[in-house]
Amino acid sequence: MCGLLGLLTSDGSAGSAVDLLSKASHCMRHRGPDEPGTWHDDDLVLGFNRLSIIDIEHSHQPLRWGPPDNPDRYALVFNGEIYNYVEIRAELAADEGTAFRTEGDGEAIVAAFHHWGPDAVRRLRGMFAFAIWDTENRTLFLARDPFGIKPMFLATGPGGTAFGSEKKSLLELLDRLQLGTELDLRALEHYTELQYVPEPETAHASIRRLESGCHATLAPGQAPKVTRYFTPQFGVVPVTDATRQRRYDEIAEVLSDSVAKHMRADVTVGSFLSGGIDSTAIAALAIRHNPDLITFTTGFEREGYSEIDVAVESAEAIGARHIVKVVSESEFIDAIPQIVWYLDDPVADPALVPLYFVAAEARKHVKVVLSGEGADELFGGYTIYKEPLSLSAFDKMPAIMRRLAGKVSDRIPEGTRGKSLLHRGSLTLEERYYGNARSFDDARLQAVLRDYRPEWTHTDVTAPIYAMSEGWDPVARMQHLDLFTWLRGDILVKADKTTMANSLELRVPFLDPEVFAVAERLPYEEKIAHGTTKYALRKALEQIVPPHVLHRRKLGFPVPIRHWLAGSQMYGWAHQTIADSQTDHLFDKTVVLAMLDEHRDGVIDNSRRLWTVLIFMVWHAIFVEKTLVPQITDHTYPVKL
C-alpha cells in the first residue's frame, strides 16, 4: 500500500517539476512512510511513497522494467496489492520466457502489460491504482481496480496532466497545470444530498477521479482517453434443490481462496472484527493461515453503541487474540479536523471516526488488516433490499393510483405511521432508491443551500447506472446501484483514507473478482429469504462462523452523534463550527443553526443532516478558507512489523 503521484507535462519540461512534485508528494507521506522515490525524463516525473508489504528489500518504486532488448522501457508506480501475482509471474515465465528481477507484484503488473496490453488489468486479482509510462511509445497508461478500492485522482490543463492517490497532492500542482481551485457547486449539492461526492466528481471543479473499473491512456499534450473495462453484471442462474448446496459450497470455497491469497505478505496480517457476520467470516478464515491472528474492534462507552462484547465473544470462539479501542466523545471531536484533512473530500459518515481510531490501534501491532467491506453489496446484505417485497402491492397498481397515494402521503403530518410507506410506494424504484443514505429531501435541501438547483439531483448520478440494469430484478438493481455509489463513494473511501492515515494496509477479500463471479449468479431468493438478508452467504458460512453471529441482524456501525449533538459538549462544538464557518454564500447558516437547536430540544432528529453540513464546514475551513490547520503527526513505523 502506497501513495503515487505523477505529472505528465505538455511541453517536455518535467525536469523542472521534480522539486515541486517531491513537495506535493510529501503531504501524503502517511500512505508510504517506509521509502520515498522519484524518477523523471523529459515528459514525465513520478513520485512515490512506499509502504513495504511484499519483497521488502527489493521492489523499489518507481520501478523500471522491460524486455531483454530494452530492459528499462517502462516506469511503474503502483498503489495496492495483486494477490495472484505469484500465478501471473509463473504464467509469464512459462509462456513468454519472462525474466524477473524482484520477487514482488509490481513487476508482475508491468510484465503483464507488456505482453497482454491493456487487457492485463482483467487478469489481476487485487486492489490497485497504477501508472505505467512507456518510454518507447511515449504513452502513459493509468488503471484502477474493478470496485474502486484504491483511489486515483486526475487533473488535466494546459500545463499537462497530474495524477495521484490523494487529491491534496494534486492541489499543489494546479498552478503548474494552469488550473484554478474553484469549488464544484454541483458536487456540493450531490454531497449534501447523498453524504459523499459521487465519482467521477470531486469538490474541486478542476480535479476528477478515474472511475472504478476504468483505465486511461494519454500522451504529452493530450487529455486522458478513458475506457471502462469492468461493468458488474448480476446474471442470475436459477437454483434448484439439487444445486442449492453446491452453490453454498462454491461461496465458501471461493471466499476461503480469496482470504488465503489476501494473506500473502512479508509482514504481519491482522483482521478487523465487529459484531457482524462479514468481518467474523474473514477473521475465521484468516486464522487458518495465521494461528496467531490478532483482531481489532472499537466502540463507545454509551450503552447500545458498541459491538465490543459480541466481537470479543467471536474472537474467543475462533481462538484469536483480541484488542479493543473505546472512543470517548472528546476524542471523537478532537480528531475530526485531522480525519477530514486525510479524507481529501468531505464524507458525512460518522463511522469513519471510530474506524480511524481502531486503525491507529491496529498499526501498533500489525501492518496489514483484513476487513469485510463489500459483502452487503455482493450478497444482498442491506435491510433496505427487503423493500421491494414490502412495496410489491404498489407495483400492481395503475400509475394514477400510485400518484394518488403520493398525494395522500404529502398531506399526512411528519412522523405519522404509514406516511413513508405511502410516499415510497408511490414512486418507482428509480425514483425512490438512490443508495443507502440521503441526508436531505428536496424541500430541506432547498432551504439549506443558497444556490439550490433542482436539476442537480441524485438522478444525475443514478439514472445512467439504472440504465445498465434494465430488466433485472429489483434487488439486483439496488445492489448494482450501490456498487457504483455507496460502496465506492463512502464505504471504500473511509476504509482507504482512515487506514492509510495510519500507514496501515486494509484488504477486502469479499471484493475479489472470483468472489463476485459466484455472487453475481445468485437469484433474488438466495439474498432476501426467510426474513433475513445475505441468505446464501449465511448458509455458506454455517461451518465457518460462530453460531451467535450467523443469524445476527445487521446493525451497521452505531455512532452516538444523535445523543452527543443534543448534549453540551458536541452541541457547543457544532455551534462554534457553524458560527465560524465562512460558508454563508453556500449555506443558509440561520437555517443550520435552527436545525441544531431543534435537535437539541428534541423537536426532530437532525443529526445526520447536521453532520453532513458540519463535515463540509470543517472541510471548507481546511481546504478553502485555510483558517483551520490540523496537526498532522509525521509518524515513524518499523519497516517490517
Binding-site residues sit at: 105, 371-372
Cβ-defined contacts of 225-233 (< 8 Å, 24+): 227/118, 229/118, 229/119, 229/121, 229/122, 229/143, 230/122, 230/146, 231/468, 232/146, 232/480, 232/483, 232/516, 232/520, 233/520
- Judge if the upstream peptide bond of residue 238 is cis by omega within 30 degrees of 0: no
Pick from 151, 165, 175: which is nearest to 48 by CA? Answer: 165
Q: Are 84 and 261 in contact (CB under 8 A)?
A: yes
The grid coordinates of residue 303 equal 450503552
Q: How far apart are CA 595 and CA 637, in angstroms?
A: 43
Rg of the chain, C-alpha, whole Å: 24
- Give binding residues for ATP as ranges: 371-372
The grid coordinates of residue 360 equal 491507529
27 catalytic residue (yes or no) = no
Active-site hit among 1, 2, 252, 259? 2
- Give binding residues for L-glutamine as ranges: 105
Q: How far is CA 268 from CA 52, 125, 352, 369, in A?
A: 12, 21, 24, 9
User: What order do you get walking across the sheet with 63-65 strand by strand?
Assistant: 63-65, 74-82, 126-134, 139-144, 214-218, 225-228
The grid coordinates of residue 443 equal 424541500
Contacts of 484 (CB under 8 A, 6+ apart): 199, 212, 465
- Judge if the upstream peptide bond of residue 350 is cis by omega within 30 degrees of 0: no
Contacts of 407 (CB under 8 A, 6+ apart): none
**Residues linked to residue 225 through DSSP beta bridges, in sequence order:** 217
H/E element holding 326?
strand 321-327
Q: Sign of the CA dihedral 266, 104, 493, 334?
A: positive
User: SS3 sequence, 579-598?
Assistant: HHCCCCCCECHHHHHHHHHH
Contacts of 482 (CB under 8 A, 6+ apart): 376, 377, 382, 435, 436
Active site residues: 2
